[in-house]
């Protein structure tokens, strides 16, 4: 497959920085987020530089059997395919979690075959971690692959943001695109499909084959009905404070089982339990996490069973959460709420700086009370209001596609 057929993901430039290091590069994330395409893009890069490389898809059971016998067999395979194993070879392995003991394989490869530069993908951190019995500390660099950010969405649409002149007419066009992005989500296959019925069909397939079947098998879930019920309830509560007892009552699952399922859903990149921003004011702060889905299309199909025609408030908030994670990291985003219900949707914490962020569908909905209180208490003087509609009032108000520019401001 040539690069002409593969869109460049933003994370690729980060990965390319580490091609010359000895580290094993590990890509992990939910299924259908484009990990294989990233590997194929890297192969094209390596071919352009005339660097020896070999691609292995472990869904092909022949390769799984060979690699299950250890890195010695991998080296033998490379020799059989004409590679000089005394020189550096890039080996790209898709779906590493299919190996019986991937951690042992990677550890032995790293320790005994310094000429092999491994770049591997896995379908989720939970699936990989559950099989990683040996410590890989100091041997790996990990990259999380999420559904497309809005910036990537526009590249896939053939309308890259750097090509926009941001006139009033262009801003109105961007609003239409962002609405599409929020309503249908950022899974690459969904973005590249124009037919709404097909979009819905593909998302339902993803839910049935990955979320409901793969996770069910992975976690040995016995009561499928209750697990599916939990998924539906969670999707309706994206942006809400987590209440384990309420979830337990609604699904008729024990508190321990709900907690187990939440752990699995978080570690397979379906949801994120967003922690509260903490400081020395612990006694006045809420301590329970909020629930957020990473993808708004998936969330709405689980919740409402079909695509909507207009953006609902908590769906917009979920989209902004997702954008913040993709442009910064999931460990940089928090929320803030006091026991007397002063609340800020998101606190972005990067490089020792903090930035309060409110997500409102319309700029007119913003009320500054909580942010003023927060900034006074934390001796902060900056904030952002992110909205899609209404009038931009000042330098603190931005559109969703301007989130990416905050990387320069906060880092």
Task: Write down all domains in the chain, each with its CATH number in brackets.
Answer: 3-145 (3.40.50.300), 151-410 (no CATH)
- What pLDDT is stored for residue 255 in this prediction? 95
Mean pLDDT of the chain, nearest integer: 90
Q: Which of the two residues, 387 and 103, has the higher pLDDT score?
A: 387
Both tokens assigned to 305: 């069973």
8 Å CB contact between 344 and 370: yes
Confidence of residue 203 (pLDDT cuts 50, 70, 90): very high
Residue 124 has pLDDT above 70, yes or no: no
Handedness of CA 322, 323, 326, 330 (dihedral sign): negative
277: helix, strand or coil: coil
- What pLDDT is stored for residue 97 in this prediction? 86
- CA distance linking residue 249 with residue 259, whole number of Å: 13
Q: In this predicted model, what pLDDT tens digit does every residue of 2-38 receive, in sequence order?
A: 454 689 999 999 999 999 999 999 998 888 899 999 9
Let me know if 309 is exposed, middle or buried by CB neighbors in 10 A (0-12, 13-18, 19+).
Answer: exposed
- What pLDDT is stored for residue 348 in this prediction? 96
- CA distance linking residue 117 with residue 23, whole number of Å: 7
Candidates 221, 224, 247; CA nearest to 235 is 247
- What pLDDT is stored for residue 360 in this prediction? 97
Q: In this predicted model, what pLDDT tens digit does every residue of 214-262 receive, in sequence order?
A: 677 767 777 888 888 999 999 999 999 999 999 999 999 999 999 999 9
- What pLDDT is stored for residue 79 in this prediction? 97
Q: In this predicted model, what pLDDT tens digit does every residue of 260-318 receive, in sequence order?
A: 999 889 988 899 999 999 776 555 566 899 999 999 999 999 999 999 999 998 999 99
Both tokens assigned to 337: 């709420």
8 Å CB contact between 30 and 294: yes
Q: What is the mean pLDDT of residues 66-84?
A: 97
Q: Which of the two residues, 31 and 136, has the higher pLDDT score?
A: 31
Per the listing, tokens 């909020």 go with 290
Q: Which of the two residues, 285 and 344, has the higher pLDDT score?
A: 344
Q: What is the pTM of this model?
A: 0.91
- What pLDDT is stored for residue 1 in this prediction? 41
Q: In this predicted model, what pLDDT tens digit does every residue of 355-394 receive, in sequence order?
A: 999 999 999 999 999 999 999 999 999 999 999 999 898 9
């Amino acid at each position: 497959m040539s690069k002409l057929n593969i869109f460049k993901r933003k994370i690729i430039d980060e990965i390319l920085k580490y091609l010359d290091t000895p580290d094993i590069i590990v890509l992990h994330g939910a299924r259908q987020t484009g990990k294989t395409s990233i590997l194929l893009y890297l192969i094209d890069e390596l071919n352009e530089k005339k660097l020896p490389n070999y691609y292995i898809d472990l869904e092909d059971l022949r390769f799984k059997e060979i690699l299950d016998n250890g890195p010695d067999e991998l080296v033998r395979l490379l020799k059989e395919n004409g590679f000089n194993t005394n020189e550096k070879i890039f080996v790209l392995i898709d779906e590493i979690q299919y190996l019986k003991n991937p951690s042992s394989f990677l550890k032995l490869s790293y320790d005994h075959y310094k000429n092999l530069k491994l770049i591997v993908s896995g379908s989720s951190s939970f699936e990989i971690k559950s099989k990683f019995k040996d410590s890989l500390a100091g041997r790996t660099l990990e990259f999380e692959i999420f559904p497309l950010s809005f910036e990537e969405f526009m590249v896939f649409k053939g309308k890259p943001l750097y090509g926009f002149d941001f006139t009033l007419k262009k801003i109105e066009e961007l609003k239409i695109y962002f609405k599409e992005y929020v309503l249908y989500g950022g899974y690459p296959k969904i973005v590249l499909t124009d037919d709404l019925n097909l979009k819905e069909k593909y998302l339902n397939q993803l839910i049935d084959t990955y979320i409901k079947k793969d996770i069910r098998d992975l976690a040995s879930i016995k009561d499928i009905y209750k697990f599916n019920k939990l998924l539906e309830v969670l999707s309706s509560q994206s942006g809400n404070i987590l209440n384990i007892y309420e979830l337990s009552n609604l699904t008729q699952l024990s508190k321990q089982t709900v907690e187990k399922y939440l752990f699995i859903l978080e570690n397979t990149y379906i949801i994120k339990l967003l922690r509260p921003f903490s400081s020395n004011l612990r006694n006045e702060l809420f301590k329970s996490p909020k629930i957020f889905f990473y993808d708004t299309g998936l969330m709405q199909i689980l919740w409402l069973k079909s695509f909507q025609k207009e953006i609902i408030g908590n769906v917009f908030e979920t989209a902004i959460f997702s954008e913040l994670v993709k442009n910064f990291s999931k460990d940089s985003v928090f929320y803030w709420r006091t026991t007397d219900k002063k609340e800020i949707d998101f606190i972005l914490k990067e490089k020792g700086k903090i930035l309060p962020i409110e997500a409102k569908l319309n700029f007119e909905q913003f009320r500054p009370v909580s942010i003023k209180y927060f900034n006074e208490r934390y001796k902060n003087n900056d904030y952002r209001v992110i909205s899609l509609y209404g009038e931009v009032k000042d330098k603190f108000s931005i559109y969703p596609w301007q989130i990416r520019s905050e990387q320069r401001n906060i880092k």
